[in-house]
């Protein structure tokens, strides 16, 4: 059975790179389901991810048009890995404080699968004490992180905050899947 990856996409300009990541994970043998926040949909469309993953895209907890789709608990239960790329300061704060007001955060709180975050944000946001504390809290709970990396940021600043290269994110996801005791990998 193919490993099941829930690809969480949040509202960062780096969201456009999620298309390449979804395609790469699919080519590497994963069954990918995209879960998008409302802010992510400002940067990339669900249709793009649906075509690349060949799966319906989750955009909300109460999507009446797609009531045939399993609920967030079913998705959380069947995931072998939840990969959030890009992970914004907002999603890190939500998860560190147990908030679940959208499909992605609800799935993350309900899953027992490993969670991998690939942060992407302005360097000042990444280095803010609140973000550092939230990331440390999640890491202490067993969440995995890759990046961010140094480079030119979308805001024009140079610094730490760029999304890690998608090939590296995919490699790390597959490593975590291979090490997970209940993985389909």
* Cis amide prior to 148 (ω within 30 degrees): yes
* From 38, 130, 154, 155, the catalytic residue: 155
**Is there a contact between 57 and 49 (Cβ–Cβ < 8 Å)?**
yes
**Is there a contact between 65 and 88 (Cβ–Cβ < 8 Å)?**
no
Structure tokens at 14: 């780096």
Beta bridge mates, 1: none
In the chain, count of helices (H) and strands (E)?
A: 8, 7
Range list of H helices, 28-128:
46-53, 72-78, 89-96, 103-110, 123-127
**Which of these, 149, 130, 158, lies nearest to 17 by C-alpha position?**
149
| 30 carries an active-site annotation | no
The answer for residues whose C-beta is within 8 angstroms of residue 64's C-beta and 6 or more apart is none
DSSP conformation class of 58? B
Which residues are catalytically annotated?
155
């Amino acid at each position: 059975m193919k490993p099941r990856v829930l690809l969480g996409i949040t509202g960062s300009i780096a969201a456009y790179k999620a298309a390449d990541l979804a395609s790469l994970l699919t080519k590497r043998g994963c069954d990918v389901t995209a879960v998008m926040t409302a802010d992510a949909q400002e940067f990339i469309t669900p249709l793009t991810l649906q075509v690349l993953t060949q799966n319906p895209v989750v955009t909300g907890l109460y999507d009446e048009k797609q009531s045939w789709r399993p609920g967030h608990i079913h998705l959380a239960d069947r995931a072998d890995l939840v990969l959030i790329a890009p992970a914004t300061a907002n999603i890190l704060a939500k998860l560190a404080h147990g908030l679940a007001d959208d499909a992605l955060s609800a799935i993350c709180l309900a899953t027992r699968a490993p969670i991998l975050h690939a942060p992407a944000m302005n360097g000042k946001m990444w280095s803010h004490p609140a973000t550092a504390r939230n990331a440390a809290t999640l890491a202490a709970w067993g969440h995995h992180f890759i990046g961010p990396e140094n480079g030119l940021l979308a805001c024009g600043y140079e610094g730490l905050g760029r999304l890690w290269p998608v090939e590296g994110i995919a490699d790390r996801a597959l490593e975590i899947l291979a090490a997970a005791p209940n993985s389909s990998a």
